[in-house]
């Protein structure tokens, strides 16, 4: 990792938002680079000053007494209400059903939350890989505008065949491709151009993998993801969101 890459990640590092790989890479760089370490410490110090400078207010005695009186009145009202009696058997069934419902709800919530977190992590990883490809002079392993050259290049290097199209007729010419990593899976990265900008389309098997987010954005970059034919797709670029949506729509149309 060089200093330019480090500068892009310092804010996310301070927020604890980096994935494990980026976190370790950045910490290794900070140990070896005093200049970047000073920047990181400056960001942390600034956040501490802002947090300490935030005004704090204590509730007035009148407000406290008002809240206390309201709680006491509510408690008395509840105590005066006559409880509804149900047969013991019905109560047991109801409690058992409630326990099952709560368990199902908790499991569903946990699964949904975990899925959403992993999906967000995939987006962050794709953004990082996109930035790395632009800065580390490793944008393409195979350079060609001919899909019949790019697609065969992946043969034998992947256990799947990424669909390759050329969208030069609508202003998104194919430029090449490379091997990459997304969510712990070896992925194909198809590279397209939009004037002076780059679009990376990451493709990896959907089996045993979380689907990519349908949309995401970070630091001026946008991403759109989808799943089709047993493969996950995630297109990432700094081009306007409308242009990326046009690109994705046409890519889908020509690969389905």
Exposed, middle or buried, 164 (CB in 10 Å: 0-12/13-18/19+)?
buried
CA–CA gap between residue 176 and residue 180 (Å, rounded)? 13
Query: pLDDT value at position 26?
Result: 87
Q: 201: which strand partners?
A: 190, 235
Contacts with 182 (C-beta within 8 Å, 6 or more apart), sequence order: 122, 125, 126, 129, 202, 204, 232, 234
b/e 90-103 (16+ beta carbons within 10 angstroms → b): eeeeeeeeeeeeee
Per-position pLDDT tens, the chain of length 256: 888 888 888 888 887 777 777 778 888 899 999 998 988 888 888 777 766 665 655 667 887 788 888 888 877 777 666 555 555 554 554 555 555 555 555 444 434 344 456 667 788 888 888 888 777 566 788 999 999 999 999 998 999 999 999 999 999 999 999 999 888 888 999 999 999 899 999 999 988 777 888 889 888 899 999 999 999 999 999 999 999 999 999 999 999 8
pTM of the model: 0.55
Tokens representing 139 are 């944008």
- For residue 158, the 8-state DSSP code is B
Phi/psi for 158 (5° steps) reads: -130, 155
Tokens representing 144 are 């060609």
Q: Which domains does the chain have, with CATH numbers?
A: 3-53 (no CATH), 122-255 (3.30.200.100)
Cα dist from 160 to 100, 105, 225, 228, whole Å: 42, 37, 18, 13
CA–CA gap between residue 214 and residue 232 (Å, rounded)? 11
């Amino acid at each position: 990792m060089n200093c330019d890459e480090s500068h892009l990640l310092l804010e996310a590092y301070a927020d604890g938002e980096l994935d494990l790989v980026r976190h370790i890479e950045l910490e290794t760089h900070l140990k070896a680079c005093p200049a970047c370490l000073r920047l990181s410490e400056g960001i942390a110090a600034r956040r501490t000053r802002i947090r300490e400078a935030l005004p704090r207010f204590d509730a007035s005695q009148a407000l406290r007494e008002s809240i206390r009186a309201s709680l006491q009145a509510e408690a008395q009202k509840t105590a005066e209400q006559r409880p509804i009696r149900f047969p013991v058997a019905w109560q047991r069934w109801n409690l058992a059903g409630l326990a099952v419902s709560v368990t199902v709800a908790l499991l569903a919530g946990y699964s949904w939350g975990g899925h959403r977190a992993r999906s967000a992590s995939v987006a962050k990883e794709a953004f990082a890989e996109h930035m790395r490809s632009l800065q580390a002079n490793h944008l393409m392993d195979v350079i060609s505008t001919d899909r019949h050259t790019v697609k065969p290049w992946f043969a034998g290097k992947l256990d799947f065949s990424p669909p390759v199209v050329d969208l030069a007729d609508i202003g998104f010419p194919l430029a090449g491709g490379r091997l990459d990593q997304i969510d712990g899976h070896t992925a194909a990265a198809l590279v397209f151009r939009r004037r002076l900008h780059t679009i990376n389309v990451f493709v990896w098997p959907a089996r045993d993998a979380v689907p990519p987010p349908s949309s995401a954005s970070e630091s001026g970059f946008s991403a759109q993801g989808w799943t089709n034919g047993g493969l996950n797709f995630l297109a990432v670029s700094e081009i306007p969101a409308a242009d990326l949506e046009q690109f994705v729509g046409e890519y889908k149309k020509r690969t389905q």
